[in-house]
A and B are shown apart, each in its own frame.
Chain A
Amino acid sequence: MSSSTVTPTESDSHITSYPRFIGRSLWLATEGSFAFYAWMTMLTALFLVGANAWANQVAGGMISTHMTDHVSWGLYIANFTFMVGLAAGGVMMVIPAYLYHDRKMHDVVIIGELLAIAAIVMCLMFVVADLGRPDRFWHMVPGIGKFNFPISMLTWDVIVLNGYLILNLHICGYLLYMRFLGRQPNPVWYVPFVMLSIIWAISIHTVTAFLYCGLGGRPFWNTALLAPRFLASAFVSGPAFIIVTMAMMRGLTQVKGLERPIATLTKIIRVTILINLLMVVSELFTEFYTGGSHVSAAKYLFFGLHGKTALVPWTWTAIGLNITAACLFLWPGLLGPKFRWLLVSACLMAFVGAWIEKGMGLIVPGFIPSTLHEVVEYVPSMLEWKVTIGIWAFGLMVFTIAIKTALPTLRQSEPS
């Protein structure tokens, strides 16, 4: 392992050696094959397109998005909501590892935490992209601004999201730093934080659900099932993303011992994907069997309302993907080595299904029909897609660099 060549002596202060560790890690993370450079160049290019689109949005006003006073949140908040789930879902690596003492998971648990870091960074970027006045962001900073705590759910979200980011930065930073120093990590410095991160992961998605379900004027969101549904779909999309990552790592890196973690996560999705579907069915039953004006948003989502059907293809795609993925996950042979491609496709289907369900399928119908029952449709503009893709590209850059930073540790952790 190359980083061990610069291991500082015991007398060095952490204040000087920690930044050196960060610098060294980042330097190593930018070393790689031609394919790696091509990948990073592509992501950089996409990020620059997004940054330019966002700058234009700030300069010209949000009129360049297709949001309106009727549908005042769109693609950005949809992605934000999904990303919170991805961040929370990353913790599904942590639960088996620490609560069930799965040693195999211990070695790779950091992948989930790095995913959480990248996802939270994307969350924060999506929120900033959605602000009409990003220059006034400081109004939200406690102390110098005016923080409407504890009344506004959005201030709770600011606290839990930033707290989760710091928590995961600490856990990952500490574990990797100890490896860099060549020392054994001291459980006192990370196990309590890992346990806290489990509760915290649940809190970030619960609070984000409360953002929506606390609004009495929006019947589509005003359901107690929203937070549990958020968690169930988060515990599908997070593990699905990690399985795909680990499947790719098997080919691209020399990290061994990923089979057992992949199997564990597959078992988790097997359960959570069914719980998620059950909750969707429960909610649809109360909506459609009862009827009344409450059902109009769900009607719009699934069948269209007054001839307006923009979301119908999205919804049925999501349902098709979710059900197909659920069937695949129920098939015992899915973990067979011959069917690795099938596992990856099932994960991708579940991931895209959750993205549509939590994004366009949740945020947009909350606004349609509007509170005065007007049906005004929303289809994201090209600019919104550019900003969104830019933020995704940046998030993938953060994730790639983070994984590369952790690779020496992951490689080392195989049993000798």
Chain B
Amino acid sequence: MTANKPSLPIVENFSRRAAVKGGFATLGAASFVAAISPLRHAAQNSSAGEFMQNHYTELTPEQKSDVLARLESEAKENYGADVTIGDDRPIPGTKFVYAINLSVCNGNGKCVEACHKENNHDRATNQSYIRVLEMPVGTMDMEQGSTTYTGIVPKDGKFYLPVQCQQCDEPPCVDVCPVKATWKEEDGIVVVDYNWCIGCRYCEAACPYHARRFNWKKPEVPAEEINPDQSYLSNRIRPVGVVEKCTYCLHRTRRGKLPACLEACPTGARVFGNILDKDSNIRWILENKRVYILKEELGTKPAFFYYFD
């Protein structure tokens, strides 16, 4: 290259080279800014308040009410819906457990649909926290099951196994989270702070029950279909890029109601309640029926039981 010609004075040589390099560096920097310009669009969708927000458990009561107000106005702005977002806390002396009667469940999928609507899931991907496996009678080997069955149910020689979050007592998903964005509450419900999750999806890899979902895009829900009764830790519309999961409908159950999937079930296969209550129906079932636990060998200790009549 010309720069090495000895006839040129060193200083002049240096400065010309510096100018050329500077020019290229400027060009490179400008191209880089242009290349990442779509980020500006992403930045417009999140406010400074959201960016700076602390972990849910560290919010003061004032900060919390500010956050809830902000989320409500965001729902209005982004989805055109008037919603109320509560901060439902566990009821002392409560430990929620769920049970499903596999002798009765007929795979009609009403629970899947009810969950989808109740929890404001993305309409385009038809998401739900519940999956129902159609299994051949005589096995518990999921390898032989199918979640994509169609036609009239129940079919001869089949039984149906609905799977959702098992609200484990030893939840592997909670252990792996690098930022403590997910934890188990005193009433046994594993929750996610959707405003703290960084979207690494390690919990999704760790869950043995396929109970977690990731928001691959911004959820789409028409304003008129939005369920306005929401809670910070459960069914409020999730931001893009974070993980979500079943919360036993804590915005209902912590207010004394039953989970949406249970109310929708036409066969009465689903039972929900407080295991600490000695007179509860669920307690009687767990003490008197033949109870089965999914993937018991993994040591996750589910708060979700299957039983047979």
Contacts and interface: CB of A to CB of B under 8 A. Distances in A.
Contact of A63 (B213, B216, B243): B216
Contacts of B262: none
A37 to B, nearest CB: 9
B143 A296 contact: yes
Contact of B35 (A55, A70, A137, A145): A55
Contact of A146 (B38, B43, B55, B218): B55
Given A69-B204, A131-B200, A372 B55 contact: no
Interface string B193-232: 0001111111011111110111111100000000000000
Contact of A72 (B38, B142, B204): B204
A167 B210 CA distance: 39
A55 B36 contact: yes
Contacts of A366: 205
Contacts, number: 176
Interface hub of A67, A72, A140 (most chain B Cβ within 10 A): A72
Interface in B1-16: 1, 3
Nearest to A34: B1
A217 B196 contact: no
B218 to A, nearest CB: 6
Contacts of A38: none
Interface hub of A34, A153, A216 (most chain B Cβ within 10 A): A216
Contacts of A58: 38-39, 42
A60 B217 contact: yes
B214 A72 contact: yes
B163 interface: yes
Interface hub of A48, A68, A132 (most chain B Cβ within 10 A): A132
Given A59-B41, A63-B217, A372 B163 contact: yes
A148 B180 contact: yes
Interface stretch (B87-95, B170-178, B277-285): B170-178
Contact of A73 (B17, B197, B201): B201
Interface string A21-47: 000000000110110000000001000
A282 interface: no
Nearest to B124: A63
A31 B21 CA distance: 9
B198 A140 contact: yes
Contacts of A51: 32, 35-36
A12 interface: no
B131 A372 contact: yes
Interface in B178-193: 178-181
Given A69-B210, A73-B205, A146 B196 contact: yes
Contacts of B268: none
B38 A154 contact: no
A375 to B, nearest CB: 10
A61 B199 CA distance: 11
A245 interface: no
Contact of B51 (A65, A73, A135, A214): A135
B56 to A, nearest CB: 10
Interface in A129-169: 130-137, 139-140, 145-148, 151-155, 158
24 contacts: A44-B28, A48-B31, A55-B35, A55-B39, A55-B42, A59-B41, A61-B218, A65-B216, A67-B216, A69-B212, A132-B197, A132-B215, A132-B243, A136-B51, A136-B198, A139-B196, A152-B177, A154-B176, A217-B208, A217-B209, A371-B208, A372-B163, A373-B143, A374-B210
Q: Nearest 6 pairs between A and B by C-beta?
A: A132-B199, A217-B208, A132-B241, A61-B217, A63-B217, A154-B178
Given A136-B199, A372-B163, 13 more contacts: A31-B3, A48-B35, A49-B35, A51-B32, A63-B217, A72-B204, A130-B200, A132-B197, A132-B198, A140-B178, A140-B179, A374-B148, A374-B210
Interface of A: 30-31, 33-34, 44, 48-49, 51-52, 54-56, 58-63, 65, 67-70, 72-73, 127, 130-137, 139-140, 145-148, 151-155, 158, 211, 214-218, 293, 296, 366-367, 369-374
